[in-house]
Structures are given as structure tokens and as C-alpha cells.
């Protein structure tokens, strides 16, 4: 139960300056936490010091000391891989997630879907799904299919300089020089 709370709370351990997981976290007098590097760069060459989050002001530049407890908690949670990685711009989204989509880690050329670690579990546990062709998450899965046979493109025809499926190789490209797609 506690894992579920931490797992969805990447924001709890994020620096509001760089928006990444806290690295070498420091606490400032108002109680907010930031990366040491972000705090320093935020206050370089300023006369007035204020919290980047709540805008509370300080009469002098706060003495930045590493928050060792928070640092250990962040390291511990990172080690258990409990942070959820939501899909951002340019990322492949999980086809199974509802609501806010997680970043896909694998795509299945048999199912023609992409999935996050959680939704990909069946492909590593169920015998029939273990035989599916998995690749690193990729967009445009339809482009990985032969338009003529609706089969996965697995071969590169060197003679015609094109990607083909096994049925194409046996029919239209018979006798052509070809190699496995990964090899090419």
C-alpha cells in the first residue's frame, strides 16, 4: 500500500526548478527542497533571495546543506524502481494505460501494441506470449508490417533495397539476395 503512494508520487521527489528527481537535495528555510546545483544556480548573482516555489524571501542567502534523510529516501526509492515514468513529448505511450499514459518500454510486433513495464508483464510470463517478437518501444508500428500480407517485416531484400516479410521473400523476391532485418 505504501509502495502505491510513493510510486505515483514522482512529483513528491522532484525539484521544482529542473523538474527531475532530486539530486543532492537541500532544504531551505521555508521547508522546500531542491537540487543543490539548481539552488546554487538560481541564486547566483542576485541581491534578493527567494524560494523558487513559494516566493518566500530571505534577508541573506540561505546556507545550503544537504538534506541527508531526503537524499537516502530518494536513493532508496530509485533503487526499488517505484517511480512511474509518464510519457512525455517524443515518448511512445503505453497502449494499455488509461488516464495519464506511462512511457512504453517495449513494442510487440505480433500484437502491434506498445506497453509499459507493468502491462508488458504477460509477455514475460505467459508461454504463448513469450514467443512474440518484442522490440524497444517504437512509434509507427504499422510501418513494421508488410502492406500486402499484414505480416511482420523481418527481411531486407538487398537486390531491391526494401524491407519485406517472409511471404514476400518466397513470392516476389525469390532468388534475391536478402538478410535478416537486424543484420542489415
Q: Who wins on pLDDT, 143 or 180? A: 180
Place 46 in a pLDDT band, splitting at 50, 70 and 90: low
Place 31 in a pLDDT band, splitting at 50, 70 and 90: confident
Mean pLDDT of 126-136: 89
CB burial of residue 95 (10 Å; 0-12, 13-18, 19+):
middle
How confident is the model at residue 10, as a pLDDT? 57
How confident is the model at residue 4, as a pLDDT? 40
CB burial of residue 168 (10 Å; 0-12, 13-18, 19+):
buried
Q: What's the distance, CA 10 to chain centroid?
A: 13
Those residues with Cβ within 8 angstroms of residue 17's Cβ, 6 or more apart along the chain or in another chain: 34, 35, 38, 39, 42, 52
Amino acid at each position: 500500500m505504501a509502495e502505491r503512494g510513493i510510486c505515483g508520487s514522482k512529483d513528491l521527489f522532484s525539484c521544482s526548478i529542473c523538474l527531475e528527481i532530486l539530486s543532492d537535495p537541500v532544504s531551505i528555510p521555508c521547508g522546500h527542497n531542491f537540487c543543490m546545483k539548481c539552488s546554487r544556480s538560481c541564486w547566483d548573482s542576485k541581491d534578493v533571495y527567494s524560494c523558487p516555489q513559494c516566493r518566500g524571501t530571505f534577508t541573506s542567502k540561505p546556507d545550503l546543506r544537504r538534506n541527508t534523510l531526503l537524499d537516502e529516501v530518494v536513493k532508496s526509492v530509485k533503487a526499488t524502481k517505484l517511480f512511474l515514468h509518464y510519457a512525455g513529448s517524443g515518448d511512445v505511450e503505453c497502449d494499455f494505460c488509461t488516464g495519464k499514459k506511462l512511457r512504453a518500454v517495449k513494442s510487440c510486433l505480433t500484437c502491434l501494441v506498445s506497453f509499459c513495464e507493468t502491462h508488458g508483464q504477460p509477455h514475460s510470463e505467459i508461454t504463448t506470449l513469450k514467443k512474440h517478437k518484442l522490440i524497444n518501444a517504437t512509434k509507427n508500428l504499422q510501418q513494421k508490417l508488410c502492406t500486402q500480407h499484414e505480416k511482420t517485416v523481418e527481411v531486407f531484400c538487398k537486390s531491391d533495397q526494401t524491407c519485406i516479410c517472409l511471404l514476400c521473400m518466397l513470392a516476389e523476391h525469390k532468388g534475391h539476395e536478402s538478410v535478416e532485418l537486424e543484420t542489415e
